Chain A
C-alpha cells in the first residue's frame, strides 16, 4: 500500500474484522472467502438491527420510568448513528473503495523526503488515534458488563437495557447467554463506530497533509523549475515551470475531489451524528449527576461522555484543519517568487489564486460546516437541553 493509503490501513483492518467494510477488490482472495466475508457482513448488519429493535421495544415498555428510559435512550441513539454508518458502508461500498484506492494515486505519493516524513507522521498519528479511541470504547463496553455480573453475583435482579424475551434472572445459563450477547453486540458496535469515525477523520487529516505538501511545492515552484533546468540543460525554463504548475493544479483538483467524495458519502451520516450527539451528551450528563462519584458506573458514563465528545470534536477539528490549510493556499501562491516569471505564467497564477480563494470547507449534509464553531454550538445547545431537562425533573 502506498504511503498515503497506509494511513487508513489499520482502520480498514478493524472494520473488515468487524464485518463492516468489504474486502479489498484487488487482493488475491479466493471467491469462497469473499463470499463468506460477504455473508459475515450481512450477519453483522442483521445483528445490529436486531439489537436496535430490542432496545426500541424496551424503551417503549419503560417509557414511564425516566431513569430507565434515559439509560436506554442514550445507548439507543448512539446505536442509531452507528447503524446509519454501517448502512452507508454497505450501500456505498463501491465509492468507499474508490476513495481508498484514490489515496494510492501517484499525485499523493510522489513526494520529497521532507514531505514523505510528513506523510509517515500522519500515518503514525492516525494509527495512534484509532488505537486510543477504539481502546477507550472497548474499555467502556467491558466496564458496562461488570455491573450486571456484580449484581447477579449479589443476587439482585439484573435489568439489561434491551428486550430479551426470556427471563434471565433465574437461570445462570440464560443470564450468561444474554450477557454474552449484550457484550458482543455492544463491543462490536463500540469498536466499529469509533473506527468508522476515526476513518472519516483520518481521510480529512490526509487531505490536510496533502494540502500542506501542495503548499510546500507551490512556494518553491520557480526554484524547483530552475533546479531542474540546471540539472537537465535540454529543458527550457518556461516549459518546466508550466509543467510543474499544471502538476500543482492537478494535485489541488485531486484533493478537492477526495474531500468531495468523502462529503458525498458521509455527509448525511455526520449531520445525524451532530444532531444526535448533542442530545446524547445531555442525556448522559443527566444520568451522571445522579450517580455516586466513586462508583464504576460513574467512571463508565464519564468515559462514554468522553467518547461522544471526542467523536464530535474529531470531525469538527479535522474539518477545521482542512479549511484553515486551504485558506493558506492563496498565501502560499503569493509567497512564491512569481516576480520575474513570464507574464503568461503570472496570469495563470491569478486564475489559480481566484480558485484557491474558495476554501475547502467540508460540510455535513450540505448545511453545517465541520468547524470548531459548530463544535462550540453543539456543546452549548447540549448544555441548554440538559438545563431544561433538569428543570422539568
Chain B
C-alpha cells in the first residue's frame, strides 16, 4: 500500500495540476510517494517516450512544411500550425531544463508564519484561492478537450487537399492529401488502410498531449498568481483589525475585548497547530521582544489593570498578541514579495518565448483572415486558431494584471484603516509599507515587457491593424 506523499504549501494546493502534468509527460519527477529506483526509472522512461513522440511528430510536420513551401497559401497555413505547436515543444524543453527553479518556487510557501488572531482570515482566503485554482484547472482542461474534439470533427468536413503551385502555368492546383487533423510527412503511405488509422490515432494522441503540455504549464503559472493575489487580499483584510490592535496598546478603546475574541475561542474549522498559540513561535529572538517594548515606550508594570501605559487593561498575553500582529503582517508581506519574485524568475523566459511566437503567429493569422470568403472549414479553422492564440495570451495577461492591481491596492488599504489612532510604531510601519507598495509587484517577461492587460491590448490592437491594412491592400 503506497502511503500518501506528505506535501505542504503550494504543492498540496496544486497537486491535481502536478499529477496531470506528470500524466501528460512533463519531466516532473518530484512529489511522488514512492521514490524507489524502479518506479523512478519507469517514470523517466514514460516522460522520455512522450517527449520523443512529440518531437518526432513535430519534426515530421516541419518536414511537410519544407516540402510544400512553393505555394504561398500552403506555406502560410503550415507555418501557422508549426508555430502553434512550437509552444508545446518549447514548454516541454523549458520545464525539463528549469525544473529546479519550478521546484524552488513550489517550495517557497512550505513554511508560513501564523498568528492566532488571523488564522481564520488566512484559512478563508486560502480556501478562496484553492477554489479559484481548481476552477481554472477544470476550465482549461475542458477547453483543451473541446479544442481537440472540434479539431478532429473539423477534419471530416471540407475537401482534404493541399495546394501546389504549377511551375509552368504559375497557377495553384489542388492535390489530394490524407484526411488527417495535421499535415505531416510520414515515411509510410497514409492515404488509406491501417496506416491511415494508425496515423489518425497518433495524431489525436499528439494533439491532446501537446496542447495539454502547453496549457498545464500556463495553468500552474496562473495558479501561482491566484495564490499570491489571495494572500494580498488576506493582508488587506487584516489591516484594519491590525491597526485597532495596535491602537489598543496605548489609546483607550471601548471594545478591546472584541479584538481578542479570535484567540479565546477556537471556532475556525482548521484546528490551529499547538505551536500557533505558543508565543515563542511568534517571536524568534528575545531581542525582538525586548526592543519592541523599548520602542513602544515602557514596560508594563501591572496586568489586568488600566494604567496610563495600558489604558485598556490588557493581559500580558493579549499585549504580546497585539505587538506581534504587525510582525506577522510584515513577514507575510515579505513572503509574498519573495514568492512573486521567484515566480517571475522561473517563468519569465517562457513568457518571452511565448509572446515572440504568438506575435508571429498572430501576424500570419491576420493575413489568413483576410482570405475568408464564407462560412466554411477555412473560416472555422482560422477563427479557431485566432481565438485560441489570443485566449492563451489573455489567460496570463489577466492574472498578471490582477497581481499588479492587488499589490498596489495594499497601499490604499493601509491608508483607509485608522492609522492615526495607532502607535508611533504602527504609523512608521504604515509609511514603510506604503513605500514598498508604491511600486506594484509585476511579472516581467525576462525584463522585456510586463505581463498586464496593456500587453494584451497592444497585441490585439496590432492584429486588428494588420488585418485592416491587409484588407485594404487586397
Partners in one complex: yes
Give A residues with C-beta under 8 Å from B.
226, 320, 324, 327, 330-331, 333-335, 338-343, 346-347, 349-350, 353-354, 357, 372-373, 376
Chain B residues with CB below 8 A from A353, complex form? 432, 435-436
With beta carbons under 8 angstroms apart, the residue of A350, A357, A372 that contacts B432 is A350
Chain A residues with CB below 8 A from B338, complex form? 335
How many angstroms from the CA of A359 to the CA of B436 in the assembled complex? 14
Chain A residues with CB below 8 A from B447, complex form? 320, 324, 372
Give B residues with C-beta under 8 Å from A.
287-288, 291-292, 295, 326-327, 330, 334, 337-338, 341, 424-425, 428-429, 431-432, 435-436, 438-439, 447-448
How many angstroms from the CA of A335 to the CA of B448 in the assembled complex? 25
Cβ of B277 to closest chain A Cβ, rounded Å: 21
Chain A residues with CB below 8 A from B448, complex form? 372-373, 376
With beta carbons under 8 angstroms apart, the residue of B326, B327, B334, B424 that contacts A334 is B334
A330-B435, A339-B429 provided; 12 other pairs, C-beta below 8 A? A330-B436, A331-B337, A331-B341, A334-B337, A335-B334, A335-B338, A339-B327, A340-B327, A341-B291, A343-B424, A350-B432, A357-B439
How many angstroms from the CA of A27 to the CA of B275 in the assembled complex? 65
Chain B residues with CB below 8 A from A226, complex form? 287
Most buried by A among B291, B330, B435: B435
Given A324-B447, A372-B447, A346 and B428 contact (CB-CB distance below 8 Å) = yes
Chain A residues with CB below 8 A from B439, complex form? 327, 330, 357
How many angstroms from the CA of A347 to the CA of B327 in the assembled complex? 17
Given A331-B337, A339-B326, A340-B288, A350 and B436 contact (CB-CB distance below 8 Å) = no
17 residue pairs A–B, Cβ–Cβ below 8 Å: A320-B447, A324-B447, A334-B432, A334-B436, A335-B337, A339-B326, A340-B287, A340-B291, A340-B295, A342-B295, A343-B425, A346-B428, A349-B432, A350-B431, A353-B432, A357-B438, A376-B448
What's the dominant secondary structure at chain B's contact region? Answer: helix
Given A335-B337, A339-B330, A340-B291, A357 and B425 contact (CB-CB distance below 8 Å) = no
How many angstroms from the CA of A137 to the CA of B390 in the assembled complex? 43
Chain A residues with CB below 8 A from B334, complex form? 334-335
The 5 closest A-B pairs by CB, nearest first: A334-B436, A353-B435, A346-B428, A340-B291, A340-B288
Chain B residues with CB below 8 A from A330, complex form? 435-436, 439
Chain B residues with CB below 8 A from A342, complex form? 291, 295
How many angstroms from the CA of A335 to the CA of B334 in the assembled complex? 6
Chain A residues with CB below 8 A from B428, complex form? 343, 346-347, 350
How many angstroms from the CA of A330 to the CA of B334 in the assembled complex? 12
Q: For residue B435, which residue of chain A has the nearest CB?
A: A353
What's the dominant secondary structure at chain A's contact region? Answer: helix
- Determine whether the beta carbon of B295 is less than 8 Å from that of A334: no
How many angstroms from the CA of A114 to the CA of B337 in the assembled complex? 24
Most buried by B among A331, A340, A342, A343: A340
Q: For residue A353, which residue of chain B has the nearest CB?
A: B435
Cβ of B355 to closest chain A Cβ, rounded Å: 12
Q: For residue B423, which residue of chain A has the nearest CB?
A: A343
How many angstroms from the CA of A330 to the CA of B428 in the assembled complex? 16
- Determine whether the beta carbon of B435 is less than 8 Å from that of A350: yes
How many angstroms from the CA of A372 to the CA of B352 in the assembled complex? 13
Q: For residue B441, which residue of chain A has the nearest CB?
A: A331
How many angstroms from the CA of A62 to the CA of B205 in the assembled complex? 63
- Determine whether the beta carbon of A340 is less than 8 Å from that of B436: no
Chain A residues with CB below 8 A from B435, complex form? 330, 333-334, 350, 353-354, 357
How many angstroms from the CA of A335 to the CA of B330 in the assembled complex? 9
How many angstroms from the CA of A346 to the CA of B338 in the assembled complex? 22
Chain B residues with CB below 8 A from A357, complex form? 435, 438-439
Chain B residues with CB below 8 A from A338, complex form? 432
Chain A residues with CB below 8 A from B424, complex form? 343
How many angstroms from the CA of A232 to the CA of B61 in the assembled complex? 71
Cβ of A349 to closest chain B Cβ, rounded Å: 7
Cβ of A316 to closest chain B Cβ, rounded Å: 11
Chain A residues with CB below 8 A from B330, complex form? 339
How many angstroms from the CA of A194 to the CA of B295 in the assembled complex? 57
Chain B residues with CB below 8 A from A324, complex form? 447
With beta carbons under 8 angstroms apart, the residue of B292, B337, B341, B438 that contacts A340 is B292
With beta carbons under 8 angstroms apart, the residue of A327, A331, A341 that contacts B436 is A331
Chain A residues with CB below 8 A from B295, complex form? 340-343
How many angstroms from the CA of A341 to the CA of B326 in the assembled complex? 13
Chain B residues with CB below 8 A from A372, complex form? 447-448
Cβ of A374 to closest chain B Cβ, rounded Å: 12
How many angstroms from the CA of A330 to the CA of B291 in the assembled complex? 24
Cβ of B426 to closest chain A Cβ, rounded Å: 11
How many angstroms from the CA of A340 to the CA of B324 in the assembled complex? 11
Cβ of A209 to closest chain B Cβ, rounded Å: 17
Chain A residues with CB below 8 A from B291, complex form? 340-342
How many angstroms from the CA of A342 to the CA of B293 in the assembled complex? 11
Cβ of B465 to closest chain A Cβ, rounded Å: 15
Cβ of A303 to closest chain B Cβ, rounded Å: 25
How many angstroms from the CA of A320 to the CA of B337 in the assembled complex? 21
How many angstroms from the CA of A340 to the CA of B295 in the assembled complex? 7
Chain B residues with CB below 8 A from A376, complex form? 448
Chain B residues with CB below 8 A from A340, complex form? 287-288, 291-292, 295, 327
How many angstroms from the CA of A340 to the CA of B436 in the assembled complex? 18
Chain A residues with CB below 8 A from B292, complex form? 339-340
How many angstroms from the CA of A76 to the CA of B292 in the assembled complex? 68
Chain B residues with CB below 8 A from A331, complex form? 337, 341, 436
Chain A residues with CB below 8 A from B431, complex form? 350
How many angstroms from the CA of A327 to the CA of B441 in the assembled complex? 11
Chain B residues with CB below 8 A from A350, complex form? 428, 431-432, 435
How many angstroms from the CA of A339 to the CA of B292 in the assembled complex? 8
How many angstroms from the CA of A339 to the CA of B326 in the assembled complex? 8
